Amino acid sequence: LATTAPFEQKPREGSYAALAPLMASAEGGARAFQMLSRLAASSGGILDAGALARLTVDHARDLLGADSAALYWWQPDLEVLSLLADNDPAAGAHPPPLQPVEGAAGVAFYRCEPLLIEDYPAWGHAVPWMVERGVKAAAATPLVVERRAVGALVARSRFIKAFTAQQVETLVLLAGQAGPALEIARLFFESEQRCAEAEGLAELARQCASDPDTDRVVSLVTESACRLLGADYAGLALTTPDGDRAWRSVWGTRTDAWRSVERLRGRGPVTRALEQRRTIVVERLGESADFPLANLPLHSAEGGRTTLATPLFSREGALGALVLGWRSDVHLSQRQVRLAEALAGHAAVVFDSVRGRERLAARADEVKKLNEDLERRVVERTSELAAANRELEAFSYSVSHDLRTPLRSIDGFTQVLLEECGDRLDEAGKNHLERVRRATHRMGELIDDMLTLAKVTRRALDREDVDLSAIARSVAQELHALDPTRQIRWEIEDGIEAKADAKLMRVVFENLLGNAWKFTSKHERAVIAFGKAFGAEPVAYFVKDDGAGYDMAYADKLFGPFQRLHSLGQFEGTGVGLATVQRIIHRHGGRVWAEAAPEQGATFYFTL
């Protein structure tokens, strides 16, 4: 073989001059000329490469008086010469492609020069199946465009030495016509195909943008893949949340095998494509040792001969794979593989967003349900609370009216008894009656305190800017008025304001300052203070006294209703006051606590 650069045309002297001897034969020349011009005329408008190729081989056969002619075209990405047309009736439907140095066409293409083989079976580059078909002689010429071989035209005969050099030159002339025409047709086809691909991708993008669900996207992608790649059937295997893969949709399939297979077995091209993260093409299905037909139940059911599986990846990992199938042996070009990958990539993006959207929608649904549930529960609780409040109010109302009435009778008639029959009672008797009266008063106080506690619970909280210092001062004045002789130094910090319920805060101060006033009563002099605790966060306020204090060991009982840490003999009280304070502070969302020691005073802190 020539070692010069393959496929490239060498300068040829007098290729057109070679027409002269041809033309010299009047009959042959006229016929050749007629044929060539007819070809030129008829091929001028043809943009179908297949039709053009068929026309060319027919002309070649007729011009050269050959038995058959064939036209091969170079596939750069596959590096083979594939058959475009062959008018030999013995040529099969799917003839194998030629390697660049195989047969007359292959060698003519490779050397980029015409070739005359007088004894084909004896020729070193003969293709066995051509010899089997009875080819004895061949003439071949490259198809040249822009000085590069793009294919080859070959004429064959069943007779040895059937072709002359002149006939080869005729073939060269014919190829000179056919080459550019075919290239134009090919370029036209390619541009049309690219347009169709671009349109197909754009259409897919448009459809996917219109808010489809997963099923719609699946059918759009598989349909587009079949149309753009000329596949006979297509399917999308999508990974399920538990890591399995299942066919979500198929297009153009004939068998139910796809529907019935829910889980992929994991030995086919899909698994391989996902594992290797690349496109897997399997040609001549069933003949491949890599993928025995037994592992490919779907393709074998479809009668598939060629398949392509390309993975769908998103940021979250493998989504699945796009699978295409052809029922014929096709040679997939790199362009086709890239197109399939583009489709898969496109589908991955769309699925990603569809799944994201579905997840968002599901989450939104969940949130909506939770909200509805919450609202319903709030309504329920509110009405329960309202009912409880109504009951409490009715109860309080009744207590307020009816529980006090008998106390008045007890106290009143005890008094009457003392007044009217006092002279008939001894001191012990009078003392007993005084005890009855004291108990009655205490019961009255208890009732009033309980009513206050109940009121604190059911009253609506009315927060406003409140001058706590002013409330404290006002309560201090009231306490002072109770016993002006007591020597108490009130240290009330000025200008302490808070957002709180003024009426309830007054109850807080009545209790806290009242307690301080009460528990300092055994001391000759006392200091009672109200202020803001330094540096506390959230802001804490305090009421402090230097009175009797109490043992912190019982601090847990301090705020329980009816709990008292001092005996009645020591200090009066109902034990409801601090419970009321705590209730009010809690209703403000605050906290109340105390620090104290026996005979060292007590400090109550609260936040709001």
- Contact residue for other proteins among 404, 430, 523, 591 (CB under 8 A): 404
Q: Which of 16, 188, 395, 413 binds other proteins (CB under 8 A)?
A: 413
Q: Pick between residue 278 and residue 408 the one whose CB is nearest to other proteins.
A: 408
Q: Which two tokens stand for residue 595?
A: 């620090």
Site for other proteins contains 562 (CB under 8 A): no
**Residue 410, Cβ density class (10 Å: 0-12 exposed, 13-18 middle, ≥19 buried):** middle
Nearer Cβ to other proteins, position 350 or 584? 584
Per-position DSSP letters for 107-141, written without gaps between them: HHHHHTS-EEESSGGGSTT--HHHHHTT--EEEEE
Alpha carbons 537 and 190: distance in angstroms, whole number: 76
d(CA 178, CA 156): 18
* Least distance in angstroms from the C-beta of 431 to other proteins: 17
Tell me how many residues contact other proteins (CB under 8 A). 23
Nearest approach in angstroms of CB 441 to other proteins is 6
Choose between 232 and 411: whose C-beta lies nearer to other proteins.
Answer: 411
Q: CB count, 10 Å around CB of 248? A: 20
**Nearest distance, CB of residue 429 and other proteins, angstroms:** 18
By CB under 8 A, the residues from 355 to 394 that bind other proteins are 393
| 397 near other proteins (CB under 8 A) | yes
Q: In one letter, which amino acid is 378?
A: V
Closest approach, Cβ 566 to other proteins, in A, equals 24
Q: Which is nearer to other proteins, 49 or 451 (CB)?
A: 451
Q: Which of 307, 291, 302 is nearest to 229 (CA)?
A: 307
Complex with other proteins: residue 402 or 427, whichever CB lies closer: 402
Answer yes or no whether residue 408 interacts with other proteins by CB under 8 A: yes
Angle, nearest 10°, between helix axes 404-421 and 427-458? 160
Beta-strand relationship, 280-282 and 245-251? unpaired
Q: 3-state DSSP call for residue 145?
A: strand
Question: Can residue 9 be called a binding residue for other proteins (CB under 8 A)?
Answer: no
Q: Give yes or no for a contact between 223 and 251, defined as CB atoms under 8 angstroms apart.
A: yes
Other beta carbons within 10 Å of 356: 12
Indicate whether 353 belongs to the interface with other proteins (CB under 8 A): no
Contact 198, 338 (CB under 8 A): no
Residue ranges of E strands in 135-294: 137-145, 148-157, 233-239, 245-251, 280-282
Q: Report the SS3 class of residue 487.
A: strand
- Torsion, Cα of 573, 578, 583, 588 (10° steps): 130
Does residue 400 interact with other proteins by CB under 8 A? Answer: yes
| Among positions 147, 368, 441, 499, the unique one binding other proteins when judged by CB under 8 A | 441
Is the peptide bond between 11 and the residue preceding it cis, with omega within 30 degrees of 0? Answer: no
Of 27-35, 361-369, 410-418, 598-606, the window that binds other proteins (rule: CB under 8 A) is 410-418
Q: Work out whether 336 is an interface residue with other proteins (CB under 8 A).
A: no
Q: Minimum distance between the CB of residue 402 and other proteins, rounded to whole angstroms?
A: 7
Rounded CA gap, 156 and 64, in Å? 9
Q: Of 183, 197, 302, 411, which lies in the binding site for other proteins, with binding defined by CB under 8 A?
A: 411
Tell whether residue 444 is a contact of other proteins (CB under 8 A). yes
CB 90 within 8 A of CB 109: no
Binding span for other proteins by CB under 8 A among 95-103, 257-265, 381-389, 434-442: 434-442
Comparing CB distances to other proteins, the nearer of 333 and 400 is 400
Is residue 416 a contact point for other proteins (CB under 8 A)?
yes
| Shortest CB 568 distance to other proteins, Å | 18
Residue type, 576: V
Locate 371 and state its tokens: 């909200």
426 binds other proteins per the rule CB under 8 A:
no
Q: Which range binds other proteins by CB under 8 A, 56-64, 178-186, 295-303, 438-446?
A: 438-446
Closest CB 445 distance from other proteins, rounded Å? 9
- Binds other proteins by CB under 8 A, chosen from 25, 371, 415, 477: 415
Residue 408 CB, shortest distance to other proteins, in Å, is 5
- Give the nearer residue to other proteins in terms of CB position, either 342 or 417: 417
**CB-wise, 51 or 403, nearer to other proteins?**
403
Closest CA to 314 of 258, 279, 354: 354
Nearby residues of 577 by Cβ (< 8 Å), 6 or more positions away: 449, 511, 514, 515
Residues at the contact surface with other proteins, assessed by CB under 8 A: 393, 396-397, 400-402, 404-405, 407-409, 411-416, 437, 440-441, 444, 451, 455
